[in-house]
Amino acid sequence: MTIKAGDSIPSVKVMQATAEGPKEVDTAELFKGRTVVLFGVPGAFTPTCSAKHLPGFVTQAAALKAKGVDTIACMSVNDAFVMGAWAKDQGITDEIVMLADGSANVTRALGLEMDLTARGLGVRSQRFALVAKDGKVAHVAVEQPGQFEVSKAEAVLAAL
């Protein structure tokens, strides 16, 4: 079942790409007591993700924070080393938390997985963005396949 407004963020372990290397994070702790924007992408280094989705949140980070967002997190079904390399490639510093959901555990718990095995990509995350306040989902937007409208940073800003 796909997560919806009013639902609690599930408590699942995920890896965070940091300058010091991978660090385990519990999603319940990451979301506790703060307003978090979490956006999910099908894959690091993929065209739309690298050219539009992640850069849009970097560009809009200050505006999101001005609207009360404490943390902006990007999640992909990739390992922490790939997410770290992607962060470096994109010039990400501390404005975006890079989360590696390597086994798609968080993605599945959110009900946002998609099977791209036929395209050689395995199970991936749908493209989405959500806003959670103190661990409760306030807004969630999931893209239709091949689309990039409702999960971009500007759409999230409009929803805040």
Residues that are catalytic: 49
Angle among Cα 154, 46, 140 to the nearest 5 degrees reads 35
d(CA 122, CA 17): 21
Reference 84, options 21, 11, 156, 41; nearest CA is 21
Q: Which two tokens stand for residue 112?
A: 């946002």
Contact yes or no for 113/107 (Cβ under 8 A): yes
Q: What is the spatial distance between Cα 26 and Cα 75, in angstroms, rounded to a whole number?
A: 13
Interacting residues of 114 by C-beta distance below 8 A, sequence separation 6+: 42, 123, 124, 125, 126, 145
